Amino acid sequence: MSNSSNIIWDLQANKVTDFLKEGKRIDGRKLDEFREITVTKNISENADGSARVRLGATDVVAGIKIVPDTPYPDTPDQGTIAVGAELLPIASPEFEVGPPREDAIELARVVDRGIRESGCIDFKNLCIREGEKSWVVFIDFYVLNHDGNLFDASSIAALASLLNAKMPKLEDDKIVRGEYTGNLELSCKPLLCTFAKISNKIILDPMFAEEAASQARFSMASTEDNCLIAFQKGGSGTFNAKEVEEMAETAIKKSKEIRKKL
Amino acid sequence: MTKYEISDYVKKGKRMDGRALDEIRPIKIEAGVLARADGSAYIEWGQNKIIVSVYGPREALPKHIQNPYKALINYTYRMATFSVPDRKNPRPARREIEISKVSGKALESAVFLERFPNTTIDVFVEVLDSNAGTRAAALTAASVALVDAGVPMKDIVASCGVGKAGGEIMVDLDKDEEDAPDAVDIPIAILPRSEEITLMQMDGRLTRDELKKVTKAGIESCKKVWEIQKDALKRRYMESETEMPEETSKVIR
């Protein structure tokens, strides 16, 4: 079964490449157009913040848990974030049960960098008692359906769940379940935009068939003040300096459109 | 807080260790340092000390990972437990797994993979001492080790870090500079002949204007690294009785 489905994806990939030769995409989108994005917030009551994001047929849920822990010795006055990605077997025939492998690790780390380096969460605000206790904001997302561009879907889901995250109430260093002291403060909204390169054409938000046809990938996180926060080049193909600059411009512009939906 | 104030990073165009903003730390590369490996290289890049071995192309196993159209590159980047200030847990960290993945991909466009279907080219990197910029140094040494192994290549991948600290764009940041409050770190790797970018990562905060500058500075630095790589490969055959293979002479021309 799985072999025959690979052949179908190979054929789909050929179709993607043929269409792009005429500057078209198989679903009729412009080269720099996102698929339809639907954001549902608060999908889990037990989570301190949560969201489900559909990017076309790609489907990701993210949940936040904010947990008291001991701060790192080199940053005694700060809390931190921890980002985890799960590529569930639910989502795709090629995902397997087990601990995260390199694809999931890369995905989690790229989403982490966008959030961490933007400074949207002030880690000093997560300090409870210097050198003793600080909050860790766990951001975990689960891919439910893989139709390409897990990076952007996960980034949107992570930001959407952070935007409705609440700070748990603490008594004697124990969390009082169901009670909160307020919202998690966010000073900006970092978002990823991911591009794929297919026979020298660059497209935004590749779907699965487009990823199968692509030689290289580039993800860029940016914030609403037009700053670039994190990059990740993936895949075996290459980009030139001009293409990187053009993608940066598109990423800044397009992430503004997504921000309006959050 | 870090040990240094922002202004300490750059004073009148010079950096804390006396380097100019566009100056790379001293680099020494030696090719063919390991007897059992098909190819190998050792690099010292500032305080960074890294050894790389290459095996293959050899049969990819287990069989189901084989690609009937091309060779796979299996890149393993690891840091020795003693290579960092606090002992590193020997278990591969998420960082090492991610670096391995992107670095392996960064080499693919340089190698004639389609000549070796169903095989794997294994690249093993061990960092013995570190002070920022190890992934760029490792990739630089790995390219030399691939050429040393006689793997047919279109070009040598050259890599260098670039970024920002203390408000200034600079190349090849060391650990103190990477720890600056406004630090931006961007490892870049290119195919020097075409200036195509095969690896680029970033974390920090950059404007589009700064991006232009760092990309340019990054490409220029990679080209300097490329000269050192070619020099190491030439020396490898000058001092030995073996003739330089044709594949090698093509790629270092």
Q: What is the pLDDT of residues B181-214, one digit of tens each?
A: 899 999 999 999 999 999 999 999 999 999 999 9
User: Which band of pLDDT confidence, cut at 50, 70 and 90, is reported for residue A34?
Assistant: very high
Distance from CA of B173 to the nearest CA of A (A): 17
- 10 Å CB burial of residue B12 (0-12, 13-18, 19+) is exposed
User: How many interchain CB pairs under 8 A, A with B?
Assistant: 98
Chain A contact set for B200 (CB, 8 A): 218, 231-233, 239, 244
Compare A158 and A2 and report the one with higher pLDDT: A158
| pLDDT score, position A1 | 40
For residue B134, the one-letter residue type is T
For residue A175, the one-letter residue type is I
Distance from CA of B91 to the nearest CA of A (A): 14
Report DSSP state, residue A119. T
Per-residue pLDDT for chain B (253 aa), expressed as one digit of tens each? 445 565 666 766 789 899 999 999 999 999 999 989 999 999 999 999 999 999 999 999 999 999 999 999 999 999 999 999 998 999 999 999 999 999 999 999 999 999 999 999 999 999 999 999 999 999 999 999 999 999 999 999 999 999 999 899 999 999 999 999 899 999 999 999 999 999 999 999 999 999 999 999 999 999 999 999 999 999 998 877 778 888 888 888 7
Q: Which of A228, A229, A243, A249 to mutate to test the interface with B (most CBs of B within 10 A)?
A: A228
| pLDDT score, position A33 | 97
Longest dimension (CA), chain B: 59
Tokens of B210: 């700064």
Q: Is the pLDDT assigned to residue A28 strictly greater than 80? A: yes
Nearest Cβ partner of A109 from B98, B100, B191? B98
Contact yes or no for A233 and B95 at CB 8 A: no
Q: In what order do the strands lie in the sheet with A216-222?
A: A201-204, A191-198, A216-222, A228-234, B196-206, B184-191, B158-165, B168-171
Find where tokens 């999908």 sit. Answer: A43
**Strand, helix or coil for residue A157:** helix
**Strand, helix or coil for residue B167:** coil
Tokens of B64: 């189901």
Contact yes or no for A232 and B211 at CB 8 A: no
| pLDDT score, position A94 | 85
Give pLDDT tens digits for A92-126.
888 888 888 999 999 999 999 999 999 999 999 99
Contact yes or no for A109 and B94 at CB 8 A: yes
Chain B: residue whose CA lies nearest to A220: B202
Q: Check: CB of residue B69 under 8 Å from CB of residue B116.
A: no
The pTM of this model reads 0.90
* Alpha-carbon separation of residue A184 from A71, A126, A256, B132 (angstroms): 18, 9, 22, 33
| pLDDT score, position B6 | 56
Q: Give the CA count within 13 Å in the CB-facing half-sphere of B249.
A: 7
Q: Give the CA count within 13 Å in the CB-facing half-sphere of A94.
A: 11
Contact yes or no for A228 and B191 at CB 8 A: no
Contact yes or no for B201 and A244 at CB 8 A: no
Contact yes or no for A239 and B200 at CB 8 A: yes
User: Which band of pLDDT confidence, cut at 50, 70 and 90, is reported for residue A2?
Assistant: very low
Mean pLDDT of chain A: 94
The answer for A 22-41 residues in CB contact with B (under 8 A) is none
Q: Check: CB of residue A78 under 8 Å from CB of residue A126.
A: yes
Contact yes or no for A227 and B191 at CB 8 A: no
Q: Check: CB of residue A124 under 8 Å from CB of residue A147.
A: no
Nearest Cβ partner of B205 from A103, A227, A238? A227
Report d(CA B131, CA B134) in Å as an integer: 7
Find where tokens 């889990």 sit. Answer: A44
| pLDDT score, position B217 | 98
* Alpha-carbon separation of residue B19 from A73, A76, B171, B179, B213 (angstroms): 31, 33, 10, 17, 19
Give pLDDT tens digits for A190-243.
999 999 999 999 999 999 999 999 999 999 999 999 999 999 999 999 999 999
Give pLDDT tens digits for A148-175.
999 999 999 999 999 999 999 999 989 9
Distance from CA of A179 to the nearest CA of B (A): 34
User: Which band of pLDDT confidence, cut at 50, 70 and 90, is reported for residue A24?
Assistant: very high
Report d(CA B244, CA B235) in Å as an integer: 10
